[in-house]
Structure 1
Amino acid sequence: MFLHNARRGYDYQIKLRVFLRFLVSIGVMRRSEPSGDEEHGGLRPFRDWLRRHRGCTERRSLVHIHAINKLLPQMGDDPSRYDAALINRVMLQNLESTSRASVQIMCGALRMYLRFLAATGACAPGLVGAVPRIPRWRLATLPRYILNDDVERVIASCDPITPRGLRDRAIILLLARLALRGGDVANLHLEDIDWDNGLIRVAGKTRYAVALPLPQDAGDALLAYIEHGRPIVASSKVFIRSIAPFVPFSTSGAVSIVVRDALTRAGVDNANLRGAYLLRHSAATNMLRSGATLDAVGALLRHRSPETTAIYAKVDTTLLAQVTQPWIGGAA
């Protein structure tokens, strides 16, 4: 009940923010809350540096900016006075009151920020090594996924008669067939679709786009939505809200809501992850269980390192059974 109420509260906040942005856009009200850059003006060069020298997307840059905004009041605005003792003290303070995942994000953002400061001569380069590393056992859990039959039920739950059903079907097919991230779908533009060659360009977590083959059913669903379900708007983004105000998807959160609603309609209640990443994990897992190699799965997921794909090796229970050694002293 608690998780259900929390989810409803989160959905309400998203809808409220969308409505407030709409009121600002038509001039009914003015934006009064300061942005991260207004709170700490020195972070705008940091954002530019992230995009130019680290290849960060706008969303990833904002994650770093948000984390540094939280840390700067504790660290102070004078980088020349930063030292290892200060960095460790600040991170330990946050570790006591913040989740491990949030502290990991803070540590990554702080390393980036210190590299930026070192590159501009504002602090010593060696301070990057003073940021503690929070243990993360990446292979300690199994990927969360649903079987192919459930994936097909989720796809079939979208009503192709309505504009929203056309949109949701196209979104879910892109996630399920190409293992895209929610951000890939939310940031997809009309010019990213190469109809002549059957390709779709996505940038993932960086600015560098790659071309992926567009499966027939996903391409048909995408075309049907663009021709018959997509509202006529000035934006070149593919996916638009189905109710007024007709604005494009701004974050991956909207894509996750589409998946969550489709899971509910399909009656798939055995998934402990109910967002866009569930279909990404499911595509990789079912591909591996069907006999694909880890290299092939890594290529589909666009992983830079084979270690990132290694977590999926644990779901191939048939292969694992072949290499399992009998327990010493156990039954024959």
Structure 2
Amino acid sequence: MWQPYKKSYKAYLQLEKSLSDNSVEAYMHDLEKLTQYLQAENNMKTPADIALKDLQQFIQGIAKMGINATSQARIISGIKSFFKYCVIENIIAKDPSVLLEAPKLKRALPDVLSFQEIENIIAAIDMSTPDGTRNRAILETMYSCGLRVSETVNLKLSSLYLDIGFVRVIGKGDKERLIPVGNDAIKHIKIYRENIRNHIKPKKDYEDIVFLNRFGSSLSRVMIFYIIKDLAKKAGITKIISPHTFRHSFATHLVEGGADLRAVQEMLGHESITTTEIYTHLDRDYLRATLNQFHPAFKK
């Protein structure tokens, strides 16, 4: 009874979405898994009759079959695509897959830069240019404070308390936090502000933004990514890095140095300590590597 829906869905993927043959095949395979499950359960419901509970039971069923979390997430994505199509085509009035949750996937930790690698990246900046002076201030601030890239590009002049060594940051969920800022970052923010930024006319609504592009607007997150990628290449670093690598390295270096986890949580602006705890796992790897290198019983 699902055959006509499958046929029209396939045409939609090919013609409306212009997907490749392989992608279409993958989506159809996901849908096929659902219909096979329904048949095995003697569930004769049409797409219009399917409820969230049916889909949840299907996911539980494939999990019991040993399908891993990554594959489950992909199948759920395919199922959601099908029901979205059904809503578009008025086959169903309400999408039953909206609240269908994918299993939580283990986050792959990004590469960490050593302090020396961060120094090498910063040393690759051409300080003879206005952009170089700004970029030095940006990177010093990101590493000193562990800022997210969004927090960096939105940092405000009115949030700098450099005389007492703090910056005020608005993080996720509009949550505010005060973070200590290091002497190098303070020095380069002041150099940028007094020698470069003072000569840029900010556009309307950007008067309070610290880091401006040459047109007087805030920098984009993508621009920060390209700045860091270019500098890493110049510094001869082959690790896969992004603006988040500076934040990740900030936290890792603190934990490796023995910093209190609650203090790191506060500085990073993590709502839950469990998010910060990923750095303790990384620290255990660091400790094991140290043992492997220096302890006689670990050497092979």
Normalised by the shorter chain, which TM-score bucket? 0.5 to 0.7
Is 2:102 aligned against 1:133?
A: yes
Q: 2:221 aligns with which of 238, 247, 252?
A: 252
Residues 173, 217 of structure 1: 8 Å contact kept:
yes
Q: Which residue of 1 aligns with 2:52?
A: 84
Q: 1:153 aligns with which of 120, 138, 143?
A: 120
Q: Which residue of 2 aligns with 1:221?
A: 188
Q: Which residue of 2 aligns with 1:294?
A: 261
Alignment of 1:230-249 (within 5 A): 230=197, 231-234=200-203, 235-236=206-207, 237-242=209-214, 245-249=215-219
Residues 284, 312 of structure 1: 8 Å contact kept:
yes
| Alignment: residue pair count | 217
What is the CA-CA distance between 1:85 and the residue it aligns to? 6.6
CA-to-aligned-CA distance 1:134-182 (integer Å, 9 cap, x gap): 33123xx444211110011111222222110111001101111111110
**Alignment TM-score, normalising by the size of structure 2:** 0.60
Identical amino acids, percent of aligned pairs: 27
Mapped to 2, the partners of 1:323 and 1:214 lie a distance apart of 33
Is 2:280 aligned against 1:280?
A: no
What is the CA-CA distance between 1:290 and the residue it aligns to? 2.1
What is the CA-CA distance between 1:314 and the residue it aligns to? 2.5
Residues 87, 130 of structure 1: 8 Å contact kept:
no
Q: Which residue of 2 aligns with 1:267?
A: 236
Mapped to 2, the partners of 1:87 and 1:257 lie a distance apart of 42
Return the letter of the residue paired with 2:235: A
Q: Which residue of 1 aligns with 2:144?
A: 177
Gaps of 5+ in 1: 1-80, 107-122, 325-330
Q: 1:248 to 1:313 in 2, by over 3 A?
A: same
Q: 2:166 aligns with which of 170, 184, 199?
A: 199
Mapped to 1, the partners of 2:286 and 2:253 lie a distance apart of 13
RMSD: 4.0
Mapped to 1, the partners of 2:272 and 2:161 lie a distance apart of 28
Residues 241, 248 of structure 1: 8 Å contact kept:
yes
Instruction: Give SS of 1:200's match.
Output: strand
Mapped to 2, the partners of 1:248 and 1:82 lie a distance apart of 47
Return the letter of the residue paired with 1:170: A
Gaps of 5+ in 2: 1-48, 60-69, 81-93, 293-298
Mapped to 2, the partners of 1:225 and 1:130 lie a distance apart of 48
Residues 117, 237 of structure 2: 8 Å contact kept:
yes
**Alignment TM-score, normalising by the size of structure 1:** 0.55
